[in-house]
Amino acid sequence: MFKKNIDFNKCFKPVLIGYAVFMVIGIILTAIFGVQLDINFKGGTRITYSYTGELDYKSTETLIEKTLDKEVNLSESSGLADDSKKIVITLVGTDSLSNEAQQNLAKVLTEEYKENTFELYDSNSVNPSVAGAFFAKSLAAVVLTGLLVILYVGIRFRKIGGVSAGLTAFASLFLDIFVAFFICNIFGLQIDSNFMAVILTILGYSLNDTIVVYDRIRENKGNNPTASTAELVNDSLNTVKVRTIITTITTLSAVVMIIVIAELFGLTSLRSFAIPMAFGLISGCISSLFVSAPLWVIWKNRSDKKTPKFAGKKGKKK
C-alpha cells in the first residue's frame, strides 16, 4: 500500500471537499450547542469536592443549583491513587462566589450526603476582565506563531518561492486548528488552556511534516531542474509519505492510550487535551501530504502564468 505511488495533486480537491463537509457539520453543531469556554477565558468560579461512594448525579446537580440559585455545569472525575471521586462545579461567566456562598454550599452537601464524606478539594475564581485578557493573549500567541511560520519557511525555502510556500503551509495549519476546535464542540469539551496547548503542539508537529516535504522538493529541484512543479511535488510527497504516516501513527498510539486512561478514570483534564490532539494529529498528517504542497503547486502555476516571458534580450538601437 505504502509503496504505491499516489497522485497527490489529483487528490487535492477530494480532500478539500472532505474538509469542507467536516467544517459545515462543525459549524452547524456549534450553532446549535454553542462554544463552551473555560473560566480562564470567560471568567467564573470552579469548585471541586472530593467524596466517596455513589451519588445520584442529577439530584446532586439540582440540589447545587437550588442552593446557589444559579445554573451550574457539573462534571465528575475519579482519583487514581485511591477510591475517592471528585465532583467539579463550574459557573462560567458569572461573578465569583463569595466565601459565604461557598461555605453554605459545603454545609448543604455535607448534611445531604453524610455517608459520602464531602470535602473541599479546590476552589478557583477568575474575574471576567482578566479572563478576557488571557484569551486575547492566547489568540495573539497563535497568530504570532503563524507569522513566524511564514517568515521561517519563506527564508529557508526562498529558492523555491519561499513566501508562497510559507503561506500555503500556514493555510493548511489553519485547517488543523479548525478541526481541533470543531472536535471540541462535537465532543462537548471546553475551550481552555489545554486547547491552546493542543493548538501550539499541532502547529509545531504539522509544520515539521510540511518542512520535510518542502526540503525534499528543494532537493529534487536541484537534481531535476527541468521537471515541472507538479512533478517535483508529487515525487517528493511519495518519497516522504511513509515517514509521515508512520510518525503520525506512532504519536497517535500514545495519544489514544491517554484517551483510554482518561475515559476509564474520568480524568476530564486529560480528555480535553488528548481528544482534540488525536484528531489534530490526523489532520496534520493529511494536510501536510494532500493540502499544503498541492496548494502550493496551484499557486506556483497561476503565478507562472501571470509572469510575462521574454523571448530574448532587446537589441541595442543603432
- The model's pLDDT over 27-72, given as tens digits with 9 standing for 90+, comes to 999 998 888 888 888 888 888 888 888 888 788 888 888 888 888 8
Say which residue, 315 or 259, is predicted with more confidence. 259
Q: Where are the domains of the chain?
A: 44-126, 130-305
Mean pLDDT of 79-106: 75
DSSP label of 2: T
In whole angstroms, what is the distance from residue 293 CA to residue 296 CA? 5
- Asked whether residue 181 carries a pLDDT value surpassing 90, the answer given is yes
Sheet strand arrangement including 85-92 = 73-78, 85-92, 44-51, 119-126
pLDDT recorded at residue 129 = 77
What string of DSSP letters covers 148-209?
HHHHHHHHHTGGG-HHHHHHHHHHHHHHHHHHHHHHHHHTT--BSHHHHHHHHHHHHHHHHH
**pTM score of the predicted model:** 0.81
Say which residue, 195 or 210, is predicted with more confidence. 195
Closest CA to 31 of 185, 187, 195: 185
CATH number for the region 130-305 comes to 1.20.1640.10
pLDDT band of 282, cuts 50, 70, 90: very high
Grid cell of 24 as nine digits: 459545515
In whole angstroms, what is the distance from residue 318 CA to residue 309 CA? 25
pLDDT recorded at residue 21 = 95
- The model's pLDDT over 212-232, given as tens digits with 9 standing for 90+, comes to 888 888 888 888 888 888 898
Q: Output the furthest CA–CA distance in the chain (Å, rounded).
A: 107
Fold of 44-126: Alpha-Beta Plaits (3.30.70)
In whole angstroms, what is the distance from residue 145 CA to residue 173 CA? 11
